[in-house]
Chain A
Amino acid sequence: MWLAELIGGVAVLILGVAVVFFSSQLSYYSEFEPGPGFLPLWVGVVLIGCAIFVIINILKKHVKIGTFFKPRTKLGLHVLIIIFITFLLLPLLGFSIGLALFVGITMRIMGKHRWVSCGLTAVVTAIAIHFIFGHWLSIPLPTGIIGW
């Protein structure tokens, strides 16, 4: 966790520097009023100040407090990858089928449910998404190659 906290602090520092850099390219002050760069510049400065404080604090402590990776972190990462693949496939499969497949697959991988239950849930989910969001709420969801 110590390293993760340190990386977090450094990430905030980098973000702060980037914000200061990009906002310095916008005008800071126009006649009587702050320009578009005023607020972001100060936000960047405060981020840098806070990040330095956090980093110094972490370096001073150097004690282990908990762990960033927990026993079930891997499972969360699996779900993230499945969501990522699902979103990649959404233009191809459409929302109803893509998200229904996501539900079925995660039920199988995470919940260890039987294939039949997963398949049935996926089918019901696809129908529900199609009719509730697509028809009832009239949201023009992408339909994919199957047209659903």
Chain B
Amino acid sequence: MDLLHNLYTGFSIALTFNNIIYCLVGVFFGQIVGVLPGIGAPTAIALLLPLTFTVNPTSALIMFAGIYYGVAYGGTITSVLINVPGESSTVMTCIDGYQMALKGRAGAALSVAAIGSWLAGTASVILLMTFAPALAKFALRFGPPEYFALAFMAFGLLTVFGGAQPIKIVISTMLGLLLATIGLDVVSGLPRFAFGVPQLLGGIDFIVIICGIFGVAEVFNSIEEPEEGELIKQKMRLRDLFLTWEEWIASRWAILRGGIIGFFVGMIPAGGITTASFLAYLGEKRLSKHPERFGKGAIEGVAAPESANNAASISGFAPLLALGIPGSPTTAVMLAGFMMWGIRPGPLLFQTKPDLVWGLIASMYIGNFLLLLMNIFLIPPFVAILRLPYTIIMGFIVIFASVGAYSVNNNLFDVWMMLGFGVLGYVMKKLEYPIVPLVLALVLGRLAENSLRQALIISGGSLFIFFTRPISGIFIAAGILAYLTPVIRWALKGLQRPKVDTA
């Protein structure tokens, strides 16, 4: 009954005229961002965040959430029609989606992506409604040791999901932690790494860093390596969007499996929507009776990753809302938004701000439905956006990043800092140092340090407090295991290597 009451509260907020407009703007903008290669959800939200200082937090979050899951829909269009993923989460869709388009089934590929995303997205919202409050209730038992252990585990999981070079992931995480320590220390009141610069005493604002590292850095990366592809010119009639019976039979279980994988991967700190789509595709290929069809236009190869990325984008809100821990760069940026509005996400959020939480969750039903309609009836206008010259898009990014950085403290120092972080982000990407660990460590750095200090005060300086409490013990053990994963992988590789006969 509680659930129905909460849902009623949520819909009464999400269905106000104002919030419907914010939701529509969010999903529309998200769809555009998804279509445009070189700009992703974290960038878009980071650039818009400073402009929402005065907006009602619930409305702003409804819009940002719309951008997040809208991006997952929009990226599909370019993946299918020009073989260029508009988003990293739609990389796997390129493989079979483009092949389907070459065979004249572009409409079916886009259709199954939209339907799969909608079904998995809606199911994910239902699961989120039941799971997030339970997680929040469980998290009420968390004290400083548990929060430190959770952050420790999240950093460890980055080495599992973050990419091929774990050592660079650790370096990137350390850079994020280092940036988080700049400014006055909250306990002692002493300045750290401020070097007498008054603007640094308050620390470097998260918005300044993300506007540079996501916004401006993407400009340089896109100039250097433009993602161009040839648009498949195929006249698409409404009936081309309908799936054949065989296609529906082939894709229905893929949607279900993709949705389940996406939901659970999205909730893991550092899991994210890209990993979800990747795992869903691989899982589907492994389970298929005809794996040889994958890569040649198998509809399951579109249905599974598309369902997974949408489900993950929604389930990613569970750790953010219930624990205050972001699972992906986009939710990390949203956490910065919460901080900007003076709201602390976490277990108490469900009690202190039920209108925000349930309004946001209810808006996801509306947003997903709007996206389904957009992706069936409005594909041509979105394809037309691809003709927009990149120089203009680039100009918009620089304008939004500059104004965003300036508006934080109304000074030009932040604008210069933003440019500096833009160059840092560009160089890091070129040298294959991942950005995501830096961002997550930056957001969680203060929480981790403060929790560590508080935990040690409680224990009288003993580190055993992290191991003797069961929840923090499990998190620490999982974190250690995650950090050791590269070593375990390396050892297993060595064992599996065939012995060379030297005789």
The chain A residues found within 8 Å of chain B, CB to CB, are: 4-5, 8, 12, 19, 22-23, 26-27, 30-36, 39-40, 43, 46-47, 50-51, 53-54, 57, 68, 70, 72-73, 75-76, 79-80, 83-84, 87, 90-91, 95, 99, 102-103, 106-107, 110-111, 113, 121, 125, 129, 133, 137-142
Contacts and interface: CB of A to CB of B under 8 A. Distances in A.
Interface of B: 51, 54, 167-168, 170-171, 174-175, 177-178, 181, 185, 187-188, 190, 192-193, 216, 219-220, 223-226, 389-392, 394-395, 398-399, 402-403, 406-407, 410, 412, 415-416, 419, 423, 426-427, 430-431, 433, 449, 452-454, 456-457, 460-461
5 contacts: A12-B171, A26-B190, A50-B167, A110-B391, A113-B391
B399 A129 contact: yes
B422 to A, nearest CB: 8
Contact of A99 (B167, B192, B399): B399
B224 A75 contact: yes
A79 B219 contact: yes
The residue in B174, B394, B423 that gathers the most chain A C-beta atoms within 10 A of its C-beta is B174
Contacts of B225: 70, 72
Contacts of A47: 171, 174-175, 178
A87 B399 contact: no
Contacts of A133: 51, 403
B412 to A, nearest CB: 6
Contacts of B51: 133, 137, 139
A27 B188 contact: yes
A78 B224 CA distance: 11
A56 to B, nearest CB: 11
A4 B433 CA distance: 12
A22 B174 CA distance: 16
Contacts, number: 148
Contact of A26 (B178, B192, B402): B192
A33 B178 CA distance: 19
- Among A22, A31, A111, chain B packs the most CB atoms within 10 A around the CB of A111
A79 B368 CA distance: 38
Contacts of B187: 33, 36
B426 to A, nearest CB: 8
Nearest to A121: B392
Contact of A46 (B170, B390, B426, B453): B170
A76 B220 contact: yes
B279 to A, nearest CB: 27
Given A36-B190, A103-B392, A107-B392, A75 B431 contact: no
Contact of B188 (A4, A8, A35): A35
Nearest to B407: A139
A60 to B, nearest CB: 14
Contact of B460 (A26, A32, A76, A84): A32
Contact of B192 (A36, A73, A95): A36
A139 B220 contact: no
A76 B223 contact: yes
Given A46-B170, A75-B223, A79-B220, 11 more contacts: A39-B452, A40-B178, A40-B192, A43-B174, A47-B171, A47-B175, A50-B167, A90-B412, A91-B412, A99-B399, A140-B410
B174 A102 contact: no
Given A4-B431, A79-B394, A103 B399 contact: yes
Nearest to B454: A33
B36 to A, nearest CB: 16
Contact of A72 (B168, B223, B389, B457): B223
Nearest to A51: B171
Contacts of A137: 51, 54
A75 B167 CA distance: 31
Contact of A139 (B181, B192, B406): B406
A72 B223 CA distance: 7
A84 B419 contact: yes
A83 to B, nearest CB: 6
B167 A32 contact: no
Given A22-B193, A32-B461, A107-B392, A46 B224 contact: no
A104 B345 CA distance: 42
Contacts of B168: 54
B423 A80 contact: yes
A39 B177 contact: yes
Contacts of B461: 31-33
A51 B399 CA distance: 36
A113 B253 CA distance: 50
Contacts of A102: 395, 398-399
Contacts of A141: 403, 406
B208 to A, nearest CB: 14
Contacts of A70: 224-225
Q: Which of A32, A73, A107 has the most chain B CB within a 10 Å cutoff?
A: A32
Nearest to A104: B395
A37 B226 CA distance: 43
Contact of B430 (A22, A68, A90, A139): A68
